[in-house]
Amino acid sequence: MKKKIKSKKITTKPLKRESKNAHETPSKVDVSIEAGAGAKGKRAFSLIRGMHDILPREERYWKSFFHRAEQLADYFQFGRLETPLLEEASLFVRSLGRGTDVVEKEMYIFEDRDGTRVALRPEATASAVRAYIMHGLWNTPQPVKFWYYGPMFRHDRPQAGRFREFFQLGFETIGALDPAVDAELLLVAYTMYHDLGLPIELRINSIGTKPERERYSNELTNYYRSKRSYLCEHCRMRLTKNPLRLLDCKEEQCQPVKETAPQIIDWLEESSKSYFMKVLEYLDELSIPYLLDPYLVRGLDSYTHTVFELYPVGGTAGAQSELGGGGRYDGLIEEMGGKTTPAAGFALGMERSVSYLKQRVEEGALVLPEVGHHIFFAQLGEEARRRSLKVINELRKSGIRIAFNFFKNSLKSQLELAHNLKVPFVLILGQKEVQDTTVIIRDMESGVQEIVDQKKIESVLKKKLGLSA
């Protein structure tokens, strides 16, 4: 027997929090704030500063990168790694190092309800390394190759190209020290843009091993100390906290000091120089153009040997135009409690990459391939509409892409839509066709219409569209 469904009264009052949920810690959250009750639940919400929505109209740009990453990962055998957005705060403090801007100023850190200090991830390499150690992946054939895609959080000052929540797409190879690894990563990063028709400037340098970098860092500190009075306020602080970051300064007044600063390449041992030369030879072999940048250091403590950054061609070297960067981080796995394990990787910023792609499309410099529709499906009348979704779904399974709009009722308006979409054929299903189990196929160019049995639509359409049966 059918049960009679009672219609529930729909309330517009803000929902009160469930308090008897056994899994939850008793909440001290003020529910009136949560539900916006102060304004009777009618307040129009806006975004938190530095956050942004990605609307469906932007999807084709985002998808361009995501799909390419998927294909490249598949081809070069990088496995997708998903890690939580929330991790122990100390994970990032350890991996990024104290004295870095991200740790000192930009981390979203808070105390969880059980008192644990947690952080919204500011980047994903630390999580990848945690996963590698925690799941014993060092016990599996090396190297382990990951790729990831997802949001990162940094409480930086928002401006064009800089958000507090932004997406990164990254590749990491853990467990091998070989110039081929660096070259493969560089190839993947470069191809991501190159295959989309986006010209890229690749800047590259070597910062050697930790002891080499430490010796260089001392030399750099001595040099900058002697020029202290010419430096900006920020650089004076960097002198004691993170001297390598002095070379990243974009302030006008610090540029002349940087121009005559010692270069790290002069502090590298032969073995490090030779490693770097081999990476460059790979790039030459791959015909990937690069720019040697002796002052590119990427100030994170964990970086070693190869470091690189990607810029749009014609962009300035300012922080906001940098599309992505990466390098080798041979010391990090040990630093995070694992065995001594070499590793390398890179991360690309999606917002900036999408904005570069959009700019090129808007300038007419490139065209994104459109995934169009094969046919339009027009329905007339209540019964036909009810049947339509079933027919459309059957055709979906056969790979025919169909456009339709159930909210237009007249044939005229539906044919107009079909015309705008430039589809060659329209399927028309009316009351009569529903009864006869037929459908009309209209040729949009000649206006000729033919009646086809519903069972035969797929084969007739495939023939007309030149699709394989």
Residue 335 interacts with ligand AMP (CB under 6 A): yes or no = no
Question: In this structure, are residues 411 and 428 in contact, taking their beta carbons and an 8 Å threshold?
Answer: yes
Give 154 or 203: the residue with its C-beta nearer to ligand AMP. 154
| Count of other CB atoms within 10 angstroms of residue 432 | 13
212 binds ligand AMP (CB under 6 A): no
Cα dist from 81 to 139, 150, 275, whole Å: 17, 10, 29
Contact set for ligand AMP, span 343-372 (CB under 6 A)? 347, 349, 351-352
324 interacts with ligand AMP by CB under 6 A: yes
- Of 149 and 377, the one with the shorter C-beta distance to ligand AMP is 149
Q: Helices H, strands E: what count in the chain? A: 16, 16
Size of the site for ligand AMP (CB under 6 A): 15
Long-range contacts, 266-271 (Cβ 8 Å, 24+)? 267/208, 267/212, 267/213, 267/215, 267/216, 267/219, 268/206, 268/208, 268/212, 269/208, 269/209, 269/212
Nearer to ligand AMP, 97 or 324 (CB): 324
Kindly tell me which of 122 and 208 has the beta carbon lying closer to ligand AMP: 122
Residue 138: CB atoms within 10 Å: 15
Q: In whole angstroms, what is the distance from residue 142 CA to residue 457 CA?
A: 52
Stretch that binds ligand AMP, among 5-13, 63-71, 160-168, 237-245 (CB under 6 A): 160-168
Residue closer to ligand AMP (CB basis): 332 or 415: 332
Which range of residues in 11-19, 83-91, 155-163, 202-210 is near ligand AMP by CB under 6 A?
Answer: 155-163
Beta carbon nearer to ligand AMP, 79 or 318:
318
Count Cβ atoms below 10 Å from residue 417 Cβ, excluding itself. 16
- Interface with ligand AMP by CB under 6 A: which range of 246-254, 272-280, 322-330, 337-345? 322-330
User: 302: closest CA among 137, 128, 148?
Assistant: 128
Whole-angstrom distance, CA of residue 241 vs CA of residue 297 = 15
Which pair of structure tokens corresponds to residue 150? 């997802």
β-strands 165-174, 200-206 pairing: unpaired
Q: Which is nearer to ligand AMP, 338 or 345 (CB)?
A: 345
Q: Side chain identity at 293, as an amino acid letter?
A: D
Q: To the nearest whole angstrom, how small is the minimum distance from the Cβ of residue 95 to ligand AMP?
A: 12
Residue 220 CB, nearest distance to ligand AMP (Å)? 21
Give the DSSP H or E segment for 432.
Answer: helix 431-436
The continuous run of DSSP H or E covering 149 comes out as strand 144-153
Q: 139-165 as b/e, with b when 16 or more CB fall inside 10 Å? A: eeeebbbbbbbbebbbbbeeeebbbbb
Pick from 97, 312, 325, 327: which binds ligand AMP (CB under 6 A)? 325
Residue nearest to ligand AMP (CB): 349
CB closer to ligand AMP, 220 vs 354: 354
Q: Is 273 in the site for ligand AMP (CB under 6 A)?
A: no
**Per this entry, what is the length of the chain?**
469
- Is residue 323 part of the contact set for ligand AMP (CB under 6 A)? yes
Which region among 174-182, 259-267, 316-324, 439-447 touches ligand AMP (by CB under 6 A)?
316-324
CA torsion, ordered 86, 81, 288, 361, to nearest 10 deg: -70
Binders of ligand AMP among 99-128, rule CB under 6 A? 123
Q: Which of 256, 248, 351, 341 is nearest to 300 (CA)?
A: 248
Q: Which of 172, 182, 184, 322 binds ligand AMP (CB under 6 A)?
A: 322
Q: Which stretch binds ligand AMP (CB under 6 A): 252-260, 320-328, 330-338, 435-443?
A: 320-328
Report the site for ligand AMP in 400-439 (rule: CB under 6 A): none
User: Could you identify the residue written with the tokens 């410099």?
Assistant: 365
87 belongs to the binding site for ligand AMP (CB under 6 A):
no
Nearest-angstrom CA–CA distance, 167 and 172 = 16
Spatial distance between the Cα atoms of 226 and 355, rounded to a whole number of angstroms: 41
The residue (of 119 and 441) whose beta carbon lies closer to ligand AMP is 119
Which residue's CB is nearer to ligand AMP, number 324 or number 342? 324
Which residues are 463's β-sheet partners?
Answer: none
Nearest to 146 by CA among 133, 129, 122: 129
Instruction: Name which position in 146, 163, 303, 329 contacts ligand AMP (CB under 6 A).
Output: 163
Comparing CB distances to ligand AMP, the nearer of 127 and 168 is 168
Interaction of residue 156 with ligand AMP, rule CB under 6 A: yes
Determine the interface stretch with ligand AMP among 154-162, 203-211, 213-221, 456-464 (rule: CB under 6 A).
154-162
CA distances from 49 to 153, 162, 349, 352 (A): 12, 11, 19, 18
64, 100, 127, 168: which one binds ligand AMP (CB under 6 A): 168
Q: Helix, strand or coil for residue 231?
A: coil
Helix H segments across 260-331? 270-285
Determine which residue in the list 162, 210, 258, 278 makes contact with ligand AMP, applying CB under 6 A: 162
> Among 65, 132, 149, 166, which residue sits at the site for ligand AMP (rule: CB under 6 A)?
166
Question: Interface residues for ligand AMP in 50-79 (CB under 6 A)?
Answer: none
Q: Which residues bind ligand AMP (CB under 6 A)?
A: 123, 154, 156, 162-163, 166, 168, 322-325, 347, 349, 351-352
